[in-house]
Amino acid sequence: MARGHLRALVVVLVAALAVDACGASPTAPDTGVTSRVVNSAPNLELTTQGSPSCNPVGKRNSFGQPSGCSVTLIALAQDVDGDPLSYSWSGTTSFSPNTGYCQAASPSSNVALCTIRSPEEIIVGSVTVRDDHGHEVSANIQVIGEGVNHPPSVRLSPPFTLPGGSVTLEMFGSIEDPEEPGLCGAEHVVSGSAAGDCKPAVAFWSSCLEGGPTVDMYRTAQSGTCEVTLKVRDSAGLVGTTVASIRY
């Protein structure tokens, strides 16, 4: 190699080293992996607006019917990704599968009203918050009724004979509760039994069309006494027992 050519090569190499030493970064190799942003679930806190309890005694609507009282729930939700959020509400008591005790103030609102019908009633209000990426988070809170609760009872009508010479006597009844007038649903019925001059069990169900429980008593003699025991439960879960002595 000629001496001039060798000198030119050395100059090029020195210049390249000088550029690298001054901070020029070499080109990063292409790994073929694309970075991906992870979408996060919303954050949620469930609280009440004001007191978590209220007194439903004496509260009535414009038609004079018992209306109960309401506790307002607020879902404080945030999404760090700025995703739109939707809200689903429900409310249950300790004994009823009904989920209609807490309802949104408006469609998909972050505010809901939980209706308490009876003193000392406990409702578990729940909310589920979802973003538009399929993430969801849930929370629940207890609200409770105030005031003194009295156990319900059953008032039975006089027994009457079914047609066709049946040995069955039938009685219509109504559930009486000073805090919750108009209880009649099957969810309020706990049990019914009978002893004495009748079979030791009664058919016991509830029909709101007839105002309350209906009891069929099966006579085991031409005349005698049957003691019927009925148990019913109010919306707060308080059970009342009624014992009626039926002579026929």
Question: Does a structural domain hold residue 218?
Answer: yes
**Among 118, 145, 172, where does a domain finish?**
145
**Among 120, 145, 170, where does a domain finish?**
145
Residue 58 sits in a domain whose CATH number is: 2.60.40.10
The pLDDT value recorded for residue 94 is: 75
In whole angstroms, give the CA distance from residue 119 to residue 54.
8
Domain match, 191 and 139 both: no
Q: What is the pLDDT along the chain (248 residues), one digit of tens a residue?
A: 555 554 444 444 444 444 454 455 455 555 555 567 799 999 999 999 999 999 998 888 888 777 889 999 999 999 999 999 999 999 998 777 778 899 999 998 999 999 998 898 999 999 999 999 999 999 999 999 999 989 999 999 999 999 888 899 999 989 999 888 778 888 888 999 999 999 877 777 777 777 788 889 999 998 999 999 999 998 888 999 999 999 99
The pLDDT value recorded for residue 14 is: 43
Question: Does a structural domain hold residue 9?
Answer: no
Domain match, 140 and 194 both: no
Domain match, 158 and 242 both: yes
Question: Does a structural domain hold residue 127?
Answer: yes
Domain match, 141 and 47 both: yes
In whole angstroms, give the CA distance from residue 127 to residue 45.
10
The pLDDT value recorded for residue 31 is: 58
**Among 119, 145, 171, where does a domain finish?**
145
Question: Does a structural domain hold residue 88?
Answer: yes
Question: Does a structural domain hold residue 140?
Answer: yes
User: Hey, what amino acid is at 230?
Assistant: L
The pLDDT value recorded for residue 8 is: 46
- The number of folded domains in the chain is 2
Residue 216 sits in a domain whose CATH number is: 2.60.40
| Residue 241 buriedness (CB in 10 A; 0-12 / 13-18 / 19+) | middle
| Residue 28 buriedness (CB in 10 A; 0-12 / 13-18 / 19+) | exposed
Q: Supply 37's token pair.
A: 């942003």
In whole angstroms, give the CA distance from residue 59 to residue 57.
6
In whole angstroms, give the CA distance from residue 114 to residue 102.
4
Question: Does a structural domain hold residue 119?
Answer: yes
- The domain containing residue 167 runs over which residues? 153-247
Domain match, 110 and 52 both: yes
Contact 153, 242 (CB under 8 A): yes
Helix, strand or coil for residue 167?
coil
The pLDDT value recorded for residue 82 is: 94
Contact 176, 184 (CB under 8 A): no
Domain match, 117 and 207 both: no
